[in-house]
Amino acid sequence: MAMTMTQKILAAHSGKESVSAGELILADLDLVLGNDITSPVAIKEFAKLGKDSVFDKNKVTMVMDHFAPNKDIKAAEQCKMCRDFCNDMEVTHFYDVGEMGIEHALLPEKGLVTAGNVVIGADSHTCTYGALGAFSTGVGSTDMACGMAVGKAWFKVPSAIKFDLTGSLRRYVSGKDVILHIIGKIGVDGALYRSMEFTGVGLSSLSMADRLCIANMAIEAGAKNGIFEVDDITLDYIREHGSAEPVVYKADPDAEYDEVINIDLSQIEPTVAFPHLPENARTFDNIDEIRIDQVVIGSCTNGRLEDLIAAAEIMKGHKVAKNVRVIIIPATQQIYLDAMEMGLLRTFIESGAVVSTPTCGPCLGGYMGILAAGERAVTTTNRNFVGRMGHPESEVYLASPATAAASALTGRITSPWEVMKE
């Protein structure tokens, strides 16, 4: 039976020769992930199972990233619960202040995911690892607890949409613009419980940072997962980060898709998602002057070194607009260190921005950049729902690092093509 990439991975992990869309399967897990918000609930559920150990101490990971360093007493207690649990269970991959990062940037960097894996995480953006050719998806904390206990999870096999990519991205256009364009095209429920599978000659135009960003936001289109065909760019990244040996699954030529969507990357322009849904995507021929109060460059979507380099190129030698707060958040300690050694942090600080320790903080309205009523932010994060970054009367505009940096300099939503005269 012909299968998609996702279906082949799920078949292999459920001990079946083949699976079909809609089928219920029990699959073996290669990694179970939690963070400081979702793990405490899972830990409480785990205790009810009467287990005295996790199924594999090397295949469970917890990352303290949402409210760490702790923002208040409740956050401190949540992190302590995770810390104590991982110590008791001798969990190998526990990441706390000093060595942590934003989970979906940290795990690929640490080589904890490879092509062909099945990964669940109690965080909706666990779909990020599809960039590496893995099946990865977000689950609830109860599923996380069961996954930690037995190393298995139930799935309904998803059908798929194929995205056939051609062409090459233009300068100052990135994976963020691509995924905002796609979500604008199909809507926030356009891929509901389906696999978004990316292939085509255009893949060679997309860096791993681009792919990680696109896979990360598959959930914003309602998808069960996003996954990229594995190529030399993927394999080079996996080797560089010391990941386990990859297992490469390619879709059968006659695999069945619900639809095939052709995307010419050369036609993608800098794109901004307006409040209050990621599907409200606009290009600059349809954007009037909109003044802003804050810019955030970071998150599990766009806090990687390549993102910081793009922002710094635009900001270097310029000053942030008066009355605009700019917050730069490297996604991991290693990215922070690399950015420092490259002089990027100096560029940001001299421009009038602040640089934060790795944290999810402002993305979910946690801390490190909360918005007041009536304020507007351009941000490289992944969601712009009502109240997402603070007051319900604030507004969040999603954009690429290049667009966010350009907007920081002008004090209004601005295309990088305008600032860099492209």
- DSSP labels, 185-232: HH-TTTTTTEEEEEESGGGGG--HHHHHHHHHGGGGGT-SEEEE---H
> Does 127 show up as a binding residue in the annotation?
no
Reduced to 3 states (helix: H, G, I; strand: E, B; else coil), residue 285 is helix
Enclosing domain of residue 179: 5-265
**What is the percent of the chain with per-residue pLDDT over 70, rounded to a whole number?**
100
| Residues in a beta bridge with 41 | none
Helices (H) and strands (E) in the chain, counts: 14, 18
Strands of the sheet containing 159-166, edge to edge, are 225-228, 194-199, 159-166, 259-264
Mean pLDDT score across all residues of the chain: 96
Beta strands in 256-322 (DSSP E): 259-264, 271-273, 281-283, 294-297
111: Cβ contacts below 8 Å, ≥ 6 apart? 238, 241, 242, 243, 244
- 231 and 151: one domain? yes
User: In the prediction, which pLDDT does 286 show?
Assistant: 85
- 223 and 320: one domain? no
Rg (CA), the chain: 20
Average pLDDT, integer, range 134-154? 97
Neighbour tally for 169: CB within 10 Å: 18
- 78 and 200: one domain? yes
pTM for the model stands at: 0.95
- 104 and 193: one domain? yes
Average pLDDT, integer, range 159-175? 97
> Does 363 show up as a binding residue in the annotation?
yes
User: In the prediction, which pLDDT does 68 show?
Assistant: 86
- Give the number of domains in the chain: 2
- 199 and 281: one domain? no
> Does 300 show up as a binding residue in the annotation?
yes
- 302 and 378: one domain? yes
- 216 and 319: one domain? no
Residue that terminates a domain, selected from 246, 265, 284: 265
- Please report, for the domain that includes residue 51, its CATH number: 3.30.499.10
Residue that terminates a domain, selected from 240, 265, 290: 265
User: In the prediction, which pLDDT does 1 show?
Assistant: 84
- 23 and 136: one domain? yes
- 284 and 227: one domain? no
Q: Cα separation of 151 and 87, whole Å?
A: 19
pLDDT over threshold 90, residue 145: yes
Average pLDDT, integer, range 21-25? 97
- 246 and 328: one domain? no
Average pLDDT, integer, range 71-98? 96
- 129 and 200: one domain? yes
Residue that terminates a domain, selected from 265, 290, 314: 265
pLDDT over threshold 80, residue 241: yes
**230 phi/psi in degrees, rounded to 5:** -75, 130
Chain position carrying tokens 């779909």: 127
pLDDT digits (tens, 9 = 90+) for 177-201: 999 999 999 999 999 999 999 999 9
